[in-house]
Amino acid sequence: MADEVVIAELVEPDWKAYQQRDSKPSKEFNSVLASTIALAIVFLFLSMTFESIVTEDIQQQNSGEIRVPVWDRYLLNYVTDENYSYVMEFGEYELLPTENEWNSTHYFVEYNLPLSEGGAAPNGLISLAVWRPNVPEGVKVPVIAEIGPYFQEPSVQTPTIEVPGSWLGQMIIDQILPHGFAFAQISVSGTGRSNHCMDLMGNAEQLGNNAAVKWLGEQDWSNGAVALIGKSYDGSTPWQAAMFGSEHNYLKTIVPISGLIGVKELMWRNGSSEARAPIMHNGVYGSYGLDGDEEDYQNICPDYVIGPGTGMSAYLLGEEYAGTYWEERYFLDRVIENYQGSVYLIQGFHDWNVDPHMAVPTINRLIDNGIEARGLFGQWDHDYPDRPIQLDDRADLGGWGGEAFPEMIRLDWMQDLLEWFDYYLRDIGPQPGQWIEVQSNLGEWRIETRYPPADTEVLMLSLGDGLSNVGGTLTVLPDADSGPVWESAPFETDVFIAGTPRFHVDVQTLTYGGQLFALLESCSVDDMCIHIAHAIMDLRYHEGGSQPQTWIPTIETINAKMEFFPMDAQVPAGHRIRLSLTSTGMDYLPASTSSVVFIEEGETSTLQLDTFNPETKLYFTPPICTHERCIAAS
């Protein structure tokens, strides 16, 4: 999340140019997926200019034709050559003018802080700004809000919370607000003008977020329906607010984009620690809320003080042996227990800032517990799904998203959001599809009803049999950048892999501890290899889960049940699977209990891949990106 401070400069929407675009579909109507309704859309669009469609009467008549299933969207005239996506429908309302140049209004929301929180307790104040549409008197509107620590923080280039964020807020104000929605930006505790300390997703922050949602739902201009949307830290606050569930029931839907279901889950994987983990609170976010004024004393809060020590102790000892710091900052269980709204979950498979295990298998847990949920999982990095420039800059060939560009660009996303908010905040239109849109590493999009999908078969390859040692000894040395390598025979047909591969391997260690990093690659006949997936495990957690285990080094063999980060990949016919082991990789620290690790081959040391038959899936092509970056890549 530290790279959140790098804010892209976005171009202001050219609504006049958009309105004057020709209405002809960009593709000929020759797809076998085209339905009778889709055919009607083509003739309708051929007979009208887009400008005439924008009128209110025509919009009402054709809303069903504009809002088509995702597999028919390629037939419509989306804007596909700009720096981000646009809605297909124009709203009738202008922005309500206010006293400032940004047409926003600032408020403070008061809430009670437990005295145990220290700092400003019990007098909490949350700072927020609101933009409203100029609707007729008596018309109430729903609210879309973004909650985060980046508003009015100098390092993020937002001079005041009354200025809409260039990364998302301006788009919502320009495109969705005119349909009859309000928009709000909210500073979490200890940031911007909100008082108290920077609590890094702790109880004080959670209470403040809940108070802000309640306030938005109770305003006399509000219809009582609130949505939360955001990316990274701002994609984690929706999960926090959803934990409160039926307390006031104003929160109807959340759209977490690369958000956290828990803080420890972000920074530890199978017991292994990211480099930023020991200093996340308050090293990475330590300066937020400190501006040299007389209220800086409010940052002396218990969790603000113990945060760094808690992170370091978890790295050194492998577990939190005292206190509830991590428990307080785990959200998903309380969301499932209390939340009564819907979730539109968005995640990049190559987001190594907020790793994809935040979304997978979270989406299945939501579905299994009766929460209406939809997923959008593509091959992008830590960003929004509709940014050609940013996603091009951050997608690299070699299995790091580059092979899926420009097909990853979802220029139907803003229209998707409008349809989602219309249904869940205003009960307008058909219910959006309850499915997961998944993109493979080679760029193809398909529909899944669950993810990982249920209709998979396990391809199991054992070390020494299905996988042959082709390099290195069977020993992994601490902190070494090389180790043993295994390869499969070339596959006779394409292999489609989904979800979370597993590597269960028998090992012995020289001392108590050790760590393994596994890299999975697809290699061609000419030995060109691309990344498919990777996994890491502190062997103190070799059984998986969050409880450390013990064993007798050099004597006892343990089976390390490693789980790869979620992925979706196609291995072409003729390619081989390559599995390499080292002691660490990516941005993970060496194990605090480093040890030599001895690998044992055999039938209980296996790589397990969940494979599926593509002929049973519904594949689709989103609106094709014609941005100059996309054309250059194609």
Greater confidence, 272 or 48? Answer: 272
Residue 71 lies in a domain: no
Residue 272 · residue 537 · CB < 8 Å: yes
Instruction: Return the pLDDT at 634.
Output: 85
Residue 48 lies in a domain: no
Given a cut of 70, is residue 41 above it in pLDDT?
no
The answer to which of 153-167, 410-424, 425-439 has the lowest mean pLDDT is 153-167
Q: Which of 430, 448, 466 is the last residue of a domain?
A: 448
Given a cut of 70, is residue 47 above it in pLDDT?
no
254 and 340 share a domain?
yes
390 and 488 share a domain?
no
Kindly report the average pLDDT of the chain as a whole number. 88
- Of 63, 111, 96, nearest to 173 by C-alpha is 96
User: What mean pLDDT is predicted for residues 337-350?
Assistant: 98
Instruction: Assign 17 a pLDDT band (cuts: 50, 70, 90).
Output: very low
The answer to which of 56-60, 393-397, 531-535 has the lowest mean pLDDT is 56-60
Q: What percent of the chain has pLDDT over 90?
A: 75
Greater confidence, 305 or 319? Answer: 305
Instruction: Assign 22 a pLDDT band (cuts: 50, 70, 90).
Output: very low
Instruction: Return the pLDDT at 12.
Output: 36
Residue 145 lies in a domain: yes
User: What mean pLDDT is predicted for residues 259-276?
Assistant: 90
Dump pLDDT digits (tens) for 49-82: 322 322 233 233 334 578 999 999 999 999 999 9
The answer to which of 28-42, 242-256, 381-395, 495-509 has the lowest mean pLDDT is 28-42
412 and 523 share a domain?
no
What is the domain extent for residue 306? 2-12+90-448
The answer to which of 279-283, 342-346, 509-513, 570-574 has the lowest mean pLDDT is 279-283
Instruction: Return the pLDDT at 155.
Output: 67
Residue 536 · residue 583 · CB < 8 Å: no
466 and 487 share a domain?
yes
User: What mean pLDDT is predicted for residues 376-389?
Assistant: 98
Residue 278, Ramachandran bin (φ over 0: left; ψ between -120 and 50: alpha; else beta): alpha
Instruction: Return the pLDDT at 246.
Output: 83
Residue 23 lies in a domain: no
Dump pLDDT digits (tens) for 566-615: 999 999 999 999 999 999 999 999 988 999 999 999 999 999 999 999 99
462 and 398 share a domain?
no
DSSP state of 416: H
Instruction: Assign 513 a pLDDT band (cuts: 50, 70, 90).
Output: very high
Six-digit token string for 242 = 């959803």
Six-digit token string for 195 = 């008082």
Instruction: Return the pLDDT at 1.
Output: 38
CA 586 to CA 277: how far, in whole Å?
14
Residue 435, Ramachandran bin (φ over 0: left; ψ between -120 and 50: alpha; else beta): beta
Six-digit token string for 97 = 């003018």
Greater confidence, 303 or 510? Answer: 510
Instruction: Return the pLDDT at 102.
Output: 97
User: What mean pLDDT is predicted for residues 184-201?
Assistant: 93
Given a cut of 90, is residue 358 above it in pLDDT?
yes
Instruction: Return the pLDDT at 464.
Output: 96
362 and 463 share a domain?
no
Q: Which of 448, 475, 491 is the last residue of a domain?
A: 448
Greater confidence, 560 or 119? Answer: 560
Instruction: Return the pLDDT at 156.
Output: 67
Instruction: Return the pLDDT at 319.
Output: 63
Residue 377 lies in a domain: yes
Q: What is the CA radius of gyration of the chain?
A: 25
Residue 181 · residue 421 · CB < 8 Å: yes
Total number of domains in the chain:
2
The answer to which of 85-94, 291-300, 399-408 has the lowest mean pLDDT is 291-300
Instruction: Return the pLDDT at 291.
Output: 63
CA 171 to CA 183: how far, in whole Å?
11
Q: Which of 448, 480, 509 is the last residue of a domain?
A: 448
CA 441 to CA 444: how far, in whole Å?
8
297 and 425 share a domain?
yes
The answer to which of 181-190, 298-307, 382-391, 520-529 has the lowest mean pLDDT is 298-307
CATH number at residue 600: 2.60.120.260
Instruction: Assign 285 a pLDDT band (cuts: 50, 70, 90).
Output: confident
CA 407 to CA 380: how far, in whole Å?
10
CA 402 to CA 196: how far, in whole Å?
43
217 and 348 share a domain?
yes
Residue 258 lies in a domain: yes
Given a cut of 50, is residue 35 above it in pLDDT?
no
523 and 398 share a domain?
no
User: What mean pLDDT is predicted for residues 209-227?
Assistant: 98
Dump pLDDT digits (tens) for 446-504: 999 999 999 999 999 999 999 999 999 999 999 888 899 999 999 999 999 999 999 99
Given a cut of 80, is residue 427 above it in pLDDT?
yes
Residue with tokens 């437990």, as numbered in its chain: 114
256 and 357 share a domain?
yes
CATH number at residue 247: 3.40.50.1820
280 and 420 share a domain?
yes
Instruction: Return the pLDDT at 37.
Output: 30
Residue 211 · residue 188 · CB < 8 Å: no
- Of 476, 596, 564, nearest to 272 by C-alpha is 564
Instruction: Return the pLDDT at 320.
Output: 58
The answer to which of 110-124, 291-305, 329-343 has the lowest mean pLDDT is 291-305
The answer to which of 55-59, 282-286, 287-291, 591-595 has the lowest mean pLDDT is 55-59
Residue 623 lies in a domain: no
Sheet holding 576-582, edge to edge: 468-471, 485-487, 576-582, 515-523, 529-538
Dump pLDDT digits (tens) for 329-343: 999 999 999 999 999
440 and 464 share a domain?
no
User: What mean pLDDT is predicted for residues 397-405?
Assistant: 97
Residue 44 lies in a domain: no
